[in-house]
Amino acid sequence: MIIPPAIEYVYAVGQDGLANTIKIGRSTDPAKRLSQMQVGHHANLLMLHAHACENNTWFEQALHTRFKKRHIRGEWYNVSTDEFIEACDVLEKHYAAMLAGEKLCDQLLLHRKKQGLTQQELAKKSGLRQATISKLECGSGGHIDTYTTLAATLGLTIVAQEVI
């Protein structure tokens, strides 16, 4: 599992004078990325849309796959800005559903990283041992009360599925 930084973006960059031709990329700083791209580009580039997301690597890959048949070259696609925005909205729902299906250990790890906490810092806040947190994050099992304590420390609630 790749743990992303707290704020990430997938973006659509266009070239002045070329309608429905966008570059799909990812960055934690779209404005800086645009200025870097502009240095080596002959035409004026425009940031058409930057979509904030939790995992820009996953979003970029999903967008490239979604628009594969409209690929031009490199990361350039024959796609309108509106289509890009619509695809981001759809993928946001898919990503949320995917996260809901992740193992509890992966979700806790993701939220710890998103809050910028080390295992040692989380241990201090939760009253658990760092080794216990490491064990839980690796999926090595643990008592439900330990998971509940960890989740509460991270500001989360564990919702149990019905057991039959």
Q: What is the pLDDT of residues 6-34, one digit of tens each?
A: 588 999 999 988 889 999 999 999 999 99
The distance between the two most distant Cα atoms of the chain, rounded to a whole number of Å, is 63
Whose CA is closest to 15, among 73, 68, 64?
73
Asked if residues 153 and 122 have their Cβ atoms less than 8 Å apart, the reply is: yes
More confident residue, 39 or 156: 39
In which band, very low, low, confident or very high, does the pLDDT at 4 lie, cut at 50, 70 and 90? Answer: very low
| pLDDT above 70 for 99 | no
Q: Does the reported pTM lie above 0.85?
A: no
Q: What is the pLDDT of residues 40-78, one digit of tens each?
A: 888 899 999 999 988 888 899 999 999 999 999 999 999
| pLDDT above 50 for 114 | yes
Asked if residues 34 and 45 have their Cβ atoms less than 8 Å apart, the reply is: yes
Q: Which residue type occupies 9?
A: Y
Alpha helices in the chain (DSSP H): 30-39, 56-66, 81-100, 104-114, 119-126, 130-137, 144-153
| pLDDT above 60 for 162 | no
Cα atoms found within 13 Å of the Cα of residue 37, Cβ hemisphere only: 22
